[in-house]
Amino acid sequence: MSIKTVQSIINQGKTYQYVDNGEPKQGGVKDVYFSPDKKYVVAFYRDKQDFNSIERLKKIATQYYESFFVKDPISGAFYKELYAWPTDVIEDGGRTGIIVPFYSQNFFFKKGYINNDLLKGEEKNGKWFASAKFRVASSRSRLDGSELGNWLSYFQVCVNIARGVKRLHAAGLAHSDLSYNNVLIDPISKTAAIIDIDGLVVPNLFPPDVIGTADFIAPEVLATKHLSKTDPNRKLPNRLTDLHALAVLIYMYLLYRHPLRGGNYFGAMETEKEEDLLMGEKALFVEHPTDFSNRNFKREYGENLQKFAPWTDLQKTPYTITGPYLKELFDQAFIKGLHNPMQRPTASEWEQALIKTNDLKLECSNPSCEQKWFIYNNTQNTCCPFCGTKYKHTIPVLDFYYQFKPNVWKPENQRLVVYNNATLHQWHSNRNIIRNERLTDAEKIPVGYFSFHNGKWVFVNQKLTSLSDKTEGKDIPIGSMVEITNGKQLLLSKEDGGRVAVISIANK
């Protein structure tokens, strides 16, 4: 074992050290070594990099680094935690490499499998959290409960991934190989890290190095992979193929199955050809509303489908359990946009749909339910789709309206479902405050909370300066409470962008 020093090719005189024990950690195309203090890694490419590749790396570590993290310090601090972004390019003995900050300790298994420590200390590659095989009680590969989080954890993880893709696309970049192999996630801290940034695609400047990872390659890329790279009909990874991969990731993290890997049979043929048809030219959403030919998970899970229930049971856990906003986007991604890339939802649309869905959550009444939370389904018979337990409380639902013009209020297509101790925030009370990565700490503080008190639902005003009860015609000062009843209207803010909440009580 020895400590070696390497030189930056961007900053003259800048050096880095790494520990060479003769056994580097091997990725797909790089050999990875750790710095002595484990604050960064030195990753060498096994293949010689051409001029274009080195120029791409230098641009990522300088121009794009500056744009993403320095010019806008507020969002930059968020994105620095989200991306494993190369900070320098080095050369040593004819080998080209990059310097990448070390991942947070969140992204390493503390326990791993429930029955052994084989995964302990390994990276939390997203694939461990995207399949029913690693979470059902009867599976030998089950992860320990301390690693899994609950269903709600994955909504925030997906929000972070969507934000990461949104920011890349806003800069005119594409990841090109977005998959669960290139996203680390931690459901416990509800965080994600997007890795392998060094392969970014810059249209008309730096083409993609790879076509992607199986399960996440867009159908049009697979269907045309036999064509020459110079053929105008050949489809290569770009922003729109990222959007397919993002939709697949979100579906898998929320439903623990693949949206296309069903039971369609194309006749006797080689496995690779069958795979190309299943995920490419003949790709079909497993939950397509009118074509049921792909609704079978035997190819993936074998004959014993019940072992992986409820995730392999499309009657118990249809994609509609993710709520109306995500259902609409899954339709867009896997029905309208599956073979028509321009129809795919943007990363920003996924981000906002996930956030709005978070406002529809209810805690399961069964304390031993593994998922803990579910999304309100807008029916009078509200029960948890995972364990079947009937929800035991009444449910206040706040539908938001905004002022379209003086004295004309229009529905916002946004609502808040209330449970005991649910909180109200500025982004609920005022439509001009957008819930995204630019929120300040002050904007994240709740403005009030809901409580089931003495057999009644009440809202306690903590910070709203102009809250009023439109039904009763009276103001509700800070520090006071108002009873939440069916049909009541609350003006949450008199400021520009202030909303009215119209209340209905469900599950009576």
Note whether 299 and 402 are same-domain residues. no
Three-state secondary structure call for residue 79: helix
Predicted TM-score (pTM) of the model is: 0.96
The answer to whether residues 293 and 423 belong to one domain is: no
Q: Along the 508 residues of the chain, how does pLDDT read in single tens digits? A: 899 999 999 998 899 999 998 889 887 789 999 999 999 999 999 999 999 999 999 999 999 999 999 998 889 999 999 999 999 999 998 899 999 999 899 999 999 999 888 999 999 999 999 999 998 877 778 999 999 999 999 999 999 999 999 999 999 999 999 999 999 999 999 999 999 899 899 888 888 888 999 999 999 999 999 999 889 999 999 999 999 999 999 999 999 999 999 989 888 888 889 999 999 999 999 999 999 999 988 888 887 888 888 999 999 999 999 999 999 999 999 999 999 999 999 999 999 999 999 999 999 999 999 999 999 988 778 999 999 999 999 999 999 999 988 888 999 999 999 999 999 999 999 999 999 999 988 999 999 999 999 999 999 999 999 999 999 999 999 999 999 999 999 999 999 999 999 999 999 8
Q: What is the DSSP string of 329-356?
A: HHHIIIIISSS-GGGSPPHHHHHHHHHH
Cα-Cα-Cα-Cα dihedral sign, residues 32, 35, 37, 39: negative
Helix, strand or coil, per DSSP, at residue 221: helix
Q: Answer positive or negative: Cα dihedral of 65, 71, 73, 76.
A: negative
Please give the distance of CA 459 from its chain centroid, rounded to a whole number: 31
Q: Are residues 98 and 113 in the same domain?
A: no
From residue 252, give the alpha-carbon distance in Å to each of 243, 247, 297.
14, 9, 14
Residue 95 domain-assigned?
A: yes
Residues 249 and 265 placed together within one structural domain of the fold: yes
Domains of the chain: total: 3
Asked, for residue 299, whether it belongs to a domain, the answer is yes
Q: Roughly what angle, to the nearest 10 degrees, separates helices 151-170 and 73-82?
A: 120
**Domain end among 337, 357, 377:** 357
Angle in degrees, CA 367, 370, 372, rounded to 5: 60
Q: Is the dihedral of CA 139, 143, 145, 148 positive or negative?
A: negative
Domain end: 102, 117, 144, which one?
A: 102
Yes or no: say if 397 and 458 are a contact pair by the CB < 8 Å rule: no
* Collapsed DSSP state (helix, strand, coil) of residue 251: helix
Three-state SS for 55?
A: helix
Cβ contact 401:499 at 8 Å = yes
Question: Does any domain span residue 365?
Answer: no
Residues 86 and 126 occupy one common structural domain: no
Question: Do 148 and 251 share a domain, yes or no?
Answer: yes
Question: Residue 238 to residues 60, 253, 327, 507: CA-CA distances in angstroms?
Answer: 17, 23, 25, 46
Q: Are residues 199 and 286 in the same domain?
A: yes
What gap in Å lies between CA 5 and CA 22, rounded to an integer?
15
Domain that holds residue 457: 393-506
**CATH code, domain carrying 438:** 2.60.200.20
The Cβ of residue 45 has, within 10 Å, a number of other Cβ atoms equal to 18
The residues, any chain, with a CB within 8 Å of residue 65's CB and separated by 6 or more, are 85, 86, 87
Question: Is 388 part of any domain?
Answer: no
